[in-house]
Amino acid sequence: MNIPQSSNPRVVIIGGGFAGIALAKKLSKQEFQVVLLDRHNYHTFQPLLYQVSTGGLEPDSIAYPIRKVLQGYPNFYFRLAEVLKVNTDVNLVDTNIGSLKFDKLVVATGTETNYFGNTELEANSMAMKTIPQSLNLRSLILENFEQALLTDDLHEREALMNFVIVGGGPTGVELAGALAEIKKGILPKDYPDLDTRRAQINIVQGGDRLLPAMSEKASEKAEAFLEELGVNVWKKLRVSGYDGKLATTNTDISFRTETLVWAAGVKAVSLKGLDGEAFVSRSKRLLVNEFHQVKGFDNIYAIGDVAQMESEAFPHGHPMMAQPAMQQGENLGNNLVAESKGNSLKPFSYRDKGSMATIGRNKAVADLPKFKFQGVFAWFVWMFVHLYFLIGFRNRVVVFINWVYNYIKFDREARLIIRPFKNHFKTKE
Ligand SMILES: Cc1cc2nc3c(=O)[nH]c(=O)nc-3n(C[C@H](O)[C@H](O)[C@H](O)COP(=O)(O)OP(=O)(O)OC[C@H]3O[C@@H](n4cnc5c(N)ncnc54)[C@H](O)[C@@H]3O)c2cc1C
């Protein structure tokens, strides 16, 4: 990998997400050689992926080059690499570009979509965990409307305009709200020759309320906001199969749809060599102690979504959210520095700053530690918080300008089919 030998201990970080970047920033001015490996050369701001999928934002404005985050730090190395295996007995990681020795290894690989073993659903549904997946979804949504214009078959047309989102967490709720706004504000103008009132947006939730990790009030309000926007909210219903045309459920309800988005579960990205039953939880997360060490190892750590730190307050680990990931990265960084200087280590303690979800223009729900509120004010707070945590000044400015423009014009200008998803629309480039 052409990483020079150094007298400083080598810390290899796998993953440039919220956790990996927070840690790398803490270590970049310290006496370590830091090597960050990621399969993408950019950090993805996942909370805004749904806006890319629905044409509200360009992908560039929610991605940030990892090399730029840590520019100017001589002890920092980035390699674009997919980590394949960890050889714990000889402290070596194998990647698609070669192998690398480590003194300390930090796994920050996040999560991937969980289909719970349903291969049919995996093959036919759309996921929204990465920028390429979000761009695929954007293309598919737009291509379906183009195709709906071409068919005389009413059933086919309705299936092309019928959207099913499985999963009533923040991702599902935010996507459903954004699609409803497109239906109302954009489709009638873009497709005057298509009866877009027939487009249906369905959100299917297995449990008895949306946003189950938030307060009951937030759930109720989110449901009311979605219904106000014309979304069909299905609760206590589970999608059990989808062949690309028909989604079946655990009841006799089924949906004819050409677009099914699976937002009903995630599992940790596991690595060969670090998948032992002794230290992996049911959701494939790595069991760690309060100092982020993977169970049974002194020099292997896990932070962010991939880590499960069980405590009395969090018996199943911390929520899979950006805040715990960043806080864990920072705490581990401080501890590695403290350890190198012979100082005592600080056990991790999560400061819950609350959670939020937006449903659409002027509509959001916020559960902060001291206040819970919904509506316009929550929407402004949601926007401010997302702008604040977005990496890069340019990205903040671009996103802000886009939001102001979209708000004033009721528009989403990034509704572009750059790379067609369906064979039907593929042409010579
Ligand atoms: C659609 C969506 C919306 C969300 N909305 C919110 C929200 O509103 N608020 C909130 O707090 N949280 C939200 N989250 C969750 C939040 O994004 C995650 O909790 C957070 O990204 C976790 O950070 P992480 O660093 O653990 O992992 P990630 O940010 O997922 O980063 C993992 C990194 O590891 C890399 N990687 C993985 N495997 C390998 C490998 N084998 N080799 C090399 N590189 C690898 C990936 O490329 C990635 O860059 C959302 C998530 C999604 C998908």
- List pocket residues of ligand 1, CB cut-off 6 Å: 14-20, 37-40, 46-47, 49-50, 82-83, 108-110, 128-129, 170-171, 269, 304-306, 320-323, 325
C-alpha distances in Å from residue 405, one per residue of 137, 178, 408: 23, 16, 5
Task: Determine the Cα–Cα distance for residues 175 and 229; give it in Å rounded to an integer.
Answer: 12
Q: In the chain, where are the structural domains located?
A: 10-39+81-113+266-340, 119-264+354-420
Question: CATH topology of 10-39+81-113+266-340 equal to that of 119-264+354-420?
Answer: yes
d(Cα 236, Cα 178) in Å, to the nearest integer?
Answer: 23
Residue 14: name the closest of 80, 87, 74 by CA.
80
How far away, in angstroms, is 110 Cα from ligand 1 center? 5
Whole-angstrom Cα distance, residue 92 to residue 96? Answer: 13
The encoded tokens of residue 178 equal 């954004």
pLDDT tens for each residue of the chain, 429 residues long: 999 999 999 999 999 999 999 999 999 888 999 999 999 999 999 999 999 999 999 999 999 999 998 888 889 999 999 999 999 999 999 999 999 999 999 999 999 999 999 999 999 999 999 999 999 999 999 999 999 999 999 999 999 999 999 999 999 999 999 999 999 999 999 999 999 999 999 999 999 999 999 999 999 999 999 999 999 999 999 999 999 999 999 999 999 999 999 999 999 998 999 988 888 888 899 999 999 999 999 999 999 999 999 999 999 999 999 999 999 999 999 999 999 999 999 999 999 999 999 999 999 999 999 999 999 999 999 999 999 999 888 999 999 999 998 888 888 888 999 999 987 777 777
Spatial contact of 17 and 44, defined as CB atoms under 8 Å apart: yes
| φ, ψ for residue 192, nearest 5 deg | -65, -20
Q: Is 92 within 8 Å of 101 (Cβ atoms)? A: yes
CATH topology for the 119-264+354-420 domain = FAD/NAD(P)-binding domain (3.50.50)
pTM (predicted TM-score): 0.96
pLDDT of residue 137: 97
C-alpha 310/C-alpha 295 separation (Å) is 12
CATH tag, 10-39+81-113+266-340: 3.50.50.60
Please state whether beta strands 300-302 and 104-107 pair in parallel, antiparallel, or not at all (unpaired): parallel
Query: What residue owns the CA closest to ligand 1's atom 38?
Result: 109
Could you tell me which of 278, 295, 293 has the C-alpha nearest to residue 328? Answer: 293
- Whether 223 sits among the annotated catalytic residues: the reply is no
Provide Rg for the chain, Cα atoms: 22
